[in-house]
Chains A and B, each alone.
Chain A
Amino acid sequence: MSFVQCSGLKKTYSVGGEEVKALDDVSLNIEHGDFIAICGPSGSGKSTLANVIGGLDQPDQGSVMVDGIDLANAKDSILSEYRNKKIGFVFQSFNLQAHETTLENVIAPLTVAGVGKKQERRERGMKALERVGLSDRAKHKPTQLSGGQRQRVAIARALVNDPQLIIADEPTGNLDSSRGADVITELKRLNAEGITLIIITHDASVAAQATRIIEIKDGKIVERAGTK
């Protein structure tokens, strides 16, 4: 059984009184350890697909099973636990809490889940920061870091709960090419360690590094590139 199984996903948004099909009968399977790039023009539905797989959104129709969890019909507590334990999100705009330190940002998923004592959380947070090479920036605020460093902090936050899947939505969108490359290298390294990776990107060079490329247009999968 595939790690991610999407079948007949439909999702419609109402924008200015007009219905927009974000997902239109999308079916997709992803295996453990895959590195998937989801590409497509703006508004094509790629982020919606990632959000549905990530448990941030639910489809209007169809089913989505991830590691045996029926996300389409799951209630909030199940979805939240799923996002906390199995998924790590990396966003284009980093989405770090500006008033918290790097370490506090990283251990936020542990705090939300009520994991262990503060000291234990900090130790796990430091390990995650070490994995992305930023343990020396633990006490810095995000505003004191470069864009690349911020994204690595976001990756550390995504890693801290040892997720099975990382979903990165335009992770290099706000970075220059050099720092973007570093981030992709970091993500690829994690994928090599066994974490399934889904990257939503416009950048063909980023997509080219994936094991599979899924092209979406008008809510439909129009092309599936073969495995590298």
Chain B
Amino acid sequence: MKFIDQFRTGLRNLARQKLRTSLTIFAIVIGAVSVTVMLSLVTSTKSFLVSSSEKIGMDTQVIVTGTSGLNYRESQWIGPDGSGKKIDADVLAAVEKLNNVQSATLYLAGSMFDSYKVDDQELTMKNVGVEGYTPNGTIKHILIAGSELSDSSNGSGVLISSDLASDLGFKGNETALIGKDVSFHYRKDMGPPDAPKADEVGKIIGVTSSDRGSVLSVDLDWAVEFQTWPNPQNNQNNQNNQNNQNNQNNQNNQNNQNGQNNQNGQNNQNNQNGQNNQNEQTQDQSQIDRMGYGSIWVSVDQKKNVDGVLSEIKQLGFGAAAGKEEIDSQSTAFTIIGAILGGIGAIALLVAAIGVVNTMVMATLERTREIGIMRAIGATKKTIRRLFRVEAGVLGFTGGLFGVILSYGFAIGLNQILNKQLADSGITDRDIVSISPQIALIVMLITTMIGMLAGSLPARRAANMDPVEALRYE
């Protein structure tokens, strides 16, 4: 019997039991939708995350830290706490000399401000980080408006993450923030209480996506200034200098009375003290000088060279974490989630398969006499088996087809929800959930196979019927 005739016969037989066929197909549709939507959701989200990470060069990024054993995420915000090896310009120079290193920058993160102000709005900086780096292309952002930091931004350019832009009331209108002044107010507990620093003022030049959290990005030199206070000891020294000067004047007056020699000796001593004080002020003016920077961010020329660079940095005695490890770990997490969700979908399909078995068993019982007639007119056992398998396959295929069509509808709905959430996060990507034709085809193939597999047992039962008995069946 030709396949087309088996197919036609299968369709016709299914059409004879419309309600039962519809219910069986409905069960398969549920399974197919579960598998399609879940697989697509996971695959699309995974691919979106990977492509977003690659856009900002995360796949070729390495973070060098003074402390070993940190992963990429931990390394991102590490500050100089003096616990590991000191990260400074010398280390940067050594890293820059390594093979395949495209660019590198010292990186400093901190939270020395308690509020920031744009126009007349002053917002708290609790949970808001300030990062500083050299704008040489090593660190990139997903930009929503404006541009990246650059040398031409005169050192006081500020990038603001979209969630902060949203807090400022510029959600959806981020471009309007560009060019506005932003002032940062120091925390009271930062620096010596008797030497408060004035607010820092910069200009917003770009709005970034908030995928790395609430953050304000500035030029490294400026970030260093943020963490630089005159040493309290220096203030004391200044005071001493002032006193010395007074003493000198007094002594001059006194010397006029007591003699020139003593006066000269006293002056020399005072001057010496003053010089020493001046030296201490230079050494202690920044904690950066004492404790170093938080990390060095490195951009490797190609992804394949990242492992080599990592290894070389570790040989230098520093900790190193690669962005691609984070991407890989996220991908693995999504693969696991995909497997779990796929498993749930598979259970739905298994239940549907049981429905197919039930339907086909019923069909063999109802059509026993028909099977007998077909055997009498020359149908082989194989033909009967195939007839029922094809019929079950048609059930599976139809369920898969409707399931995929419905899944496209679900994807549209999901995208509408996700688009809104992405827009809220300031991410410009849209319609990230897409059902690839490959997934659609695979799901239809799987449901067809499941149908045929589920139909195998009833098909075998039908094929093995004794034709004489089948013809007598009432």
Residues of chain A having any CB pair with chain B under 8 Å:
51, 54, 56-57, 76-77, 80-81, 83-85, 89, 91, 95-97, 99, 108-109, 111-114, 157, 161
Contact = CB atoms under 8 A, between A and B. Distances in A.
A76 B370 contact: no
B378 A95 contact: no
B378 A56 contact: no
B377 A112 contact: yes
A85 B377 CA distance: 9
Interface stretch (B110-118, B312-320, B347-355, B380-388): B380-388
Contact of A95 (B1, B376, B468): B376
A97 B369 CA distance: 9
A216 to B, nearest CB: 17
B17 to A, nearest CB: 11
B16 interface: yes
Main secondary structure of the interface of B (DSSP, over half): helix
A108 B377 contact: yes
Contacts of A77: 380, 382
A131 to B, nearest CB: 17
B378 A57 contact: no
Contacts of A99: 12, 16
Interface string B352-394: 0000000000000000011011111111111100000000000
B6 to A, nearest CB: 10
B212 interface: no
Contacts of B376: 54, 56, 83, 89, 91, 95
Given A56-B467, A57-B468, A97 B378 contact: no
Contact of B5 (A54, A95, A114): A114
A83 B471 contact: no
A113 B378 contact: yes
A108 B5 CA distance: 10
Contacts of B468: 51, 56-57
Contact of B379 (A80, A89, A97, A157): A80
Interface string B163-190: 0000000000000000000000000000
Contacts of A157: 377
Contacts of B369: 95
Given A95-B471, A112-B383, A89 B2 contact: no
Contacts of B5: 111, 114
A81 B382 CA distance: 12
Nearest to B16: A99
Given A57-B468, A99-B16, A114 B2 contact: yes
A80 B16 contact: no
Given A76-B380, A114-B5, A108 B374 contact: yes
Contact of A111 (B1, B380, B471): B1
B470 to A, nearest CB: 10
Nearest to B470: A56
Nearest to A54: B376
A157 to B, nearest CB: 7
19 contacts: A56-B376, A56-B468, A76-B380, A76-B382, A80-B380, A80-B383, A81-B378, A83-B378, A84-B378, A95-B471, A96-B373, A97-B370, A97-B373, A99-B16, A109-B378, A112-B1, A112-B379, A114-B5, A161-B378
Contact of B377 (A51, A76, A83, A114): A83
Most A Cβ at <10 Å: residue of B372, B378, B379, B380: B378
Nearest to A95: B373
B376 to A, nearest CB: 5
Nearest to A157: B377
A86 to B, nearest CB: 10
A76 B12 contact: no
B377 A89 contact: yes
A114 B1 contact: yes
Contacts of A76: 380-382
Nearest to B463: A76
A56 B1 contact: no
Contacts of A85: 378
Nearest to A80: B380
A70 B16 CA distance: 39
Nearest to B378: A84
A80 B383 CA distance: 10
A80 B375 contact: yes
Nearest to B13: A99
Contacts of A51: 468
A109 B378 CA distance: 7
Contacts of A54: 376
Interface string B18-55: 00000000000000000000000000000000000000
Nearest to A161: B378
A81 B379 CA distance: 8
A109 B377 CA distance: 5
A54 B376 CA distance: 9
A95 B374 CA distance: 10
Nearest to A91: B471
A161 B12 CA distance: 24
B263 to A, nearest CB: 128
A96 B370 CA distance: 8
Nearest to A48: B468
Contacts of B375: 56, 80, 83
A43 B312 CA distance: 95
Nearest to B379: A112
Given A51-B468, A57-B468, A85-B378, 10 more contacts: A56-B471, A76-B382, A77-B380, A77-B382, A81-B380, A84-B377, A95-B372, A108-B374, A109-B378, A112-B379
The 9 residue pairs across chains A and B that have the minimum distance between CB atoms: A84-B378, A80-B380, A109-B377, A114-B2, A112-B379, A83-B378, A95-B373, A89-B376, A76-B381
A190 to B, nearest CB: 17
Contacts of A81: 378, 380
B297 to A, nearest CB: 71
B9 to A, nearest CB: 8
Contacts of B377: 83-84, 89, 108-109, 112, 157
A84 B378 CA distance: 4
A114 B378 CA distance: 11
